[in-house]
Amino acid sequence: MELPVDFKQKYTELLGPVEAQQFFDGFDLEPRHGFRVNPLKDNHDYSAIVDMRSVAEHCEFGYFGKVDGKSVAHQGGLVYSQEPSAMYVGEVAHPNPGERVLDLCAAPGGKTTHLGSFMQNQGVLVANEINGKRASILAENVERFSLRNAVITNTTPEKIAQTFPEYFDKVLVDAPCSGEGMFRKDPAAMDYWSLDYPKQCADRQREILTEAVKVIKPGGQLIYSTCTFAPEEDEEIISWLIENFDFSIEPIKKYPGMDDGRPEWGNGDDGLKDCVRLFPYHFNGEGHFIAKLVKGKSEINNKLKPFWKNKHLTRPNKDELMLYKQFLNDNEIDVKFDDLVVYKNLLFASNDKLPDLSKVKVVRVGMPLGEFKKGRFEPSFALGLALTAAENHHQLTISHDQWAAYVHGDVLQLMNNMKRVGISWFVTTCQLDLENSLARQ
C-alpha cells in the first residue's frame, strides 16, 4: 500500500526503522472481518451463520467472518458486522444492566448495539450523534438490534452536557479522528490526511471531552477510543485528561497481540501503559487505541428537572392505555414495559429516570411501540422485531425465500387461522414500516 511520505517519515521517527517497517508491512496484510451476535434475540441458533471455530476470544459476542448485509441474520438484527478491533471498545466499556450509559459519538451504532447487548434492556442507554443523517442510520441499527432502553439524540456535546450533568455511570467517547487505523480497509481515508490533520482532530477531541467529563458521575468511567495511531489523538489526549481533570487511568486486560499504550508518546506517565494499542502487524484487526479512566469521587450536585416536566411528553391517557392494552390482548402479546410515554400520537417504552430533554433534539425517546390513529393503536415495526417468542404467542415460521421476498416488499401470505386472530393486520403493518425503513437507507 502506498502510504503518504510524511506519514512514513513520522512513524519511522516514532518507532525506529525496524519496527516502522513491520508497521508499514501490516498495511499490506489482508483485513480480517468480524461480527457480533445479538444476545437480546431469543433465537440463539446461529449455526447457519457462525463457524464455531471463529470465536473472537477478546469479545464475548464476537466472531471472525463476514456477514452479508442482505442476509436474514443481518436484516433481522441477529448479528452486527464489526471489525475485530472495534469490538474490543464495547468489551472494555462492558456496562452492567441498570446503569446509565452514554455513547456520545454513536453513529452508525457499532458500539451502541454492543453496549446494549450487555445492558439486557435495563437502565438507560443514551446514544447521541451530532450529524442528522448519521443519527437516522443509528436509529435504524438500534431498531434492528431491538434495544428497548435506548434513547437517541441528535445534538452537540455541549447540549448533552447541559441536559445530563453528572448523570452517567459510563460514558463512551469513540471520537472522530484522523482514521489512520482505517487506511488499510479504506485507502480513501489517506486523501484528507496531512501532517497537521492529527493536531486538528486532537483540538476537536479536547472540545468533545471537555463536555463529556461534565456528564460523568463522581466515580463513573470514561472510555475513550480512536481508530488512529497518532499520539496527538491518543496518549497525548489521555495525558491532557489526567492533567486537567480529576481522572485516573484504569488497566485494561490485554489479549495476545494487544500492545500497551506508550508513555513516551504522551506526558511520560507510566499509567499510560494501561491503555491499549491495536496495531495490525500484531493484532488481527484494524488500528485502534482504547483508554479507560475513572472520575474522582466528589459530591454529586445535580438536581435535575424530571423528564415529565417536558411539555411535549405525557403519560398515556385512559383511552390510549385502553387501546394499547386491547391491541396486546387481541394479538395475545405478553409484554410489559415499565414506563410508557406519549409524544404527539406516538407511544414509546421509555424511562422516567430521564431528565428534561427539551433542550436536545430527540430522535427516539425510547423504543417506539406504535401510533394512536383514530380510535385504534397501530404497532411499530420496531415492536414486531423486538418481541421474543415468549412474548408473542402467534408465531409464523417462514422459509428463507419467504423472508427475502418479505424484506423486498412482497406480501406475506398467511394461513387462514392466523387472519382470524388479527395477526395478519399486525404483520402487514410491519411490512409497510419495513418498506419505509428500507427506502430511508
Ligand X SMILES: C[S@@+](CC[C@H](N)C(=O)[O-])C[C@H]1O[C@@H](n2cnc3c(N)ncnc32)[C@H](O)[C@@H]1O
Answer yes or no: is 250 a known binding residue.
no
CB nearer to ligand X: give 4 or 108: 108
CB nearer to ligand X: give 287 or 370: 287
Q: Least distance in Å: CB of 163 to ligand X? A: 14
Contact (Cβ atoms closer than 8 angstroms) between residue 285 and residue 304: no
CB nearer to ligand X: give 130 or 241: 130
Answer yes or no: is 174 a known binding residue.
yes
Q: Which helix (H) or strand (E) holds 22?
A: helix 17-26
Measure the CA–CA gap between 88 and 121, rounded to whole angstroms: 21
Exposure of 203 by Cβ count < 10 A (0-12 exposed, 13-18 middle, 19+ buried)? exposed
Q: Least distance in Å: CB of 81 to ligand X? A: 11
Answer yes or no: is 93 a known binding residue.
no
Contacts with ligand X, residue ranges (CB under 6 A): 105-111, 129-131, 134, 157, 174, 176, 204, 208
Number of C-beta neighbours around residue 172 at 10 A: 28
Give start and end residues of each alpha helix (H) in 80-196.
Answer: 87-93, 110-119, 132-144, 157-163
C-alpha radius of gyration, the chain, whole number: 23
Contact (Cβ atoms closer than 8 angstroms) between residue 336 and residue 388: no
CB nearer to ligand X: give 78 or 208: 208
CB nearer to ligand X: give 150 or 383: 150
Among residues 123, 72, 68, the alpha carbon closest in space to that of 99 is found at: 123
Number of C-beta neighbours around residue 244 at 10 A: 12
Q: Least distance in Å: CB of 226 to ligand X? A: 8
Interior angle at CA 24, CA 18 and CA 28, nearest 5: 135
Q: Least distance in Å: CB of 418 to ligand X? A: 38
Q: Least distance in Å: CB of 66 to ligand X? A: 18
Answer yes or no: is 111 a known binding residue.
yes
Answer yes or no: is 106 a known binding residue.
yes
Contact (Cβ atoms closer than 8 angstroms) between residue 315 and residue 340: yes
The grid cell for 236 is 497525548
Query: Has 227 been annotated as catalytic?
Result: yes
Answer yes or no: is 217 a known binding residue.
no
CB nearer to ligand X: give 8 or 185: 185
Q: Which of 59, 177, 227, 275 is catalytic?
A: 227
Measure the CA–CA gap between 393 and 387, rounded to whole angstroms: 10
Instruction: Identify the residue whose cell numbers are 385502553.
Output: 322
Measure the CA–CA gap between 197 and 200, rounded to whole angstroms: 5
Q: Is the dihedral of CA 108, 226, 79, 394 positive or negative?
A: negative
CB nearer to ligand X: give 234 or 433: 234
Contact (Cβ atoms closer than 8 angstroms) between residue 102 and residue 78: no
Q: Least distance in Å: CB of 241 to ligand X? A: 16
Q: What is the dihedral of CA 226, 230, 231, 236, to 10 degrees?
A: -50
Q: Least distance in Å: CB of 144 to ligand X? A: 13
The grid cell for 108 is 452508525
Active site residues: 227
As annotated, the binding site for S-adenosyl-L-methionine includes 105-111, 129, 174
